[in-house]
């Protein structure tokens, strides 16, 4: 079944004038498959999943507290996403709320703040310890990707990952919600892994993986956009149980397709269609259709 599903997903990828890499794991069978899953690509804001998990590890070790106040400084309010860039600096929120805002509206003021609190070396060490060998964090707040959208990304200078790396991390997080050993591999606890899944499921940017799923479907995910790279990565639930993990990374998305469709809208719909195809096949298997 997974081989046939992979063929269908690749056929969908072949209909678009941009590259797609994806990683899929069926959580009921444990089977996985991918397309360019080990190819290093710009991570964009999907990197914030690993930043959040590194921060939760620091909470578990006692370095940080979820309730500690964090002051928002003007030097971080230079981002191109989120809400805090528009507010007057000097206010404080809890670390818990910094993590929530970083994920649910992809707030880069919060991202730069927590990245500096942790340090890039610690974030990269966390990724290595989790087995994410193709992932590197080089910038707390990356430069505006739209200003460089017409140039191929320099993978040696930016934040990068692979579809399989992010799939692995999400798998460890969902396992960690009920398995202390998996949570321990992330340096955390089941309670902290459950918090991570909750935060990812509060995501407000839902035009990609969840867009074509049945209304009310729980999807714990994080989007990412960097110039011509449009990404999304998440855990998709059925009947409140984790059903499958899907990570999708597109590259070279044109500003406009030949038919006039904006490239970003086409990539959004493509990611949604890949996810719906997985849903239709894997949910049918689970109910014995």
- Distance (Å, rounded) from C-alpha 142 to C-alpha 44? 9
Residues whose CB is less than 8 angstroms from the CB of residue 168 and which lie 6 or more positions away in sequence, other chains included = 130, 131, 132
At 287 the pLDDT is 53
Residue 83 burial (CB count, 10 A) = 12
At 285 the pLDDT is 65
Q: Give pLDDT tens digits for 137-177.
A: 999 987 765 555 567 888 999 999 999 999 999 999 999 99
At 289 the pLDDT is 45
Residue pair 209/193 in contact (Cβ under 8 Å)? The answer is no
The per-residue DSSP string of 194-231 comes to: HHHHHHHHT----SSTTTTSPTT--EEEEEEEETTEEE
Which residues face 220 on adjacent strands? 235
User: What size, in residues, is the chain?
Assistant: 289
At 284 the pLDDT is 67
- Distance (Å, rounded) from C-alpha 97 to C-alpha 94? 5
- Could you give the C-alpha distances from 170 to 42, 68, 228, in angstroms and in order? 18, 26, 24
Residues whose CB is less than 8 angstroms from the CB of residue 28 and which lie 6 or more positions away in sequence, other chains included = 243, 282, 285, 286
Residue pair 93/113 in contact (Cβ under 8 Å)? The answer is no
Q: Give pLDDT tens digits for 85-98.
A: 999 999 999 999 99
| Residue 33 CB-density burial (10 A; 0-12 exposed, 13-18 middle, 19+ buried) | middle
The tens place of each residue's pLDDT in the chain, 289 residues long, gives: 899 999 999 999 999 999 999 999 999 999 999 999 999 999 999 999 999 999 999 999 999 999 999 999 999 998 778 999 999 999 999 999 999 999 999 999 999 999 999 999 999 999 999 999 999 999 998 776 555 556 788 899 999 999 999 999 999 999 999 999 999 999 999 999 999 999 999 999 999 999 999 999 999 999 999 989 999 999 999 998 999 999 999 999 999 999 999 999 999 999 999 999 999 999 866 655 4
Which residues face 230 on adjacent strands? 225, 250
Residues whose CB is less than 8 angstroms from the CB of residue 231 and which lie 6 or more positions away in sequence, other chains included = 41, 42, 43, 44, 45, 46, 223, 224, 225, 247, 248, 249, 250
- Distance (Å, rounded) from C-alpha 37 to C-alpha 167? 9
Q: What is the pTM of this model?
A: 0.95
């Amino acid at each position: 079944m997974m081989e046939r599903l992979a063929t269908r997903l690749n056929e969908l990828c072949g209909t678009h004038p941009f590259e797609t890499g994806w990683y899929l794991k069926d959580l009921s069978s444990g089977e996985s498959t991918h397309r360019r899953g080990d190819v290093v690509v710009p991570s964009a804001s999907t990197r914030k999943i690993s930043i959040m998990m590194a921060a939760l590890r620091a909470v578990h070790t006692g370095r940080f507290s979820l309730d500690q106040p964090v002051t928002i400084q003007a030097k971080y309010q230079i981002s191109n996403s989120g809400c805090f860039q528009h507010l007057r600096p000097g206010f404080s929120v809890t670390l818990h709320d910094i993590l929530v805002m970083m994920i649910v509206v992809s707030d880069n003021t919060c991202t730069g703040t927590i990245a500096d609190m942790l340090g890039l070396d610690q974030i990269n060490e966390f990724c290595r310890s989790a087995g994410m060998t193709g992932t590197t964090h080089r910038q707390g707040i990356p430069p505006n990707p739209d200003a460089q959208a017409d140039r191929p990304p320099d993978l040696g200078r930016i934040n990068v990952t692979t579809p399989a790396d992010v799939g692995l991390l999400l798998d460890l997080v969902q396992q960690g919600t009920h398995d202390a050993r998996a949570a321990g591999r992330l340096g955390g606890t089941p309670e902290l892994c459950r918090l991570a899944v909750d935060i990812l499921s509060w995501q407000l940017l839902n035009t990609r993986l969840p867009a074509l799923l049945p209304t009310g479907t729980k999807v714990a995910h994080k989007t990412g956009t960097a110039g011509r790279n449009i990404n999304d990565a998440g855990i998709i639930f059925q009947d409140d149980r984790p059903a499958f993990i899907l990570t999708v990374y597109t590259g070279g998305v044109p500003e406009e397709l030949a038919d006039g469709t904006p490239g970003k809208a086409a990539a959004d719909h493509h990611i949604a269609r890949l996810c719906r195809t997985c849903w239709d096949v894997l949910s049918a298997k689970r109910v014995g259709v």
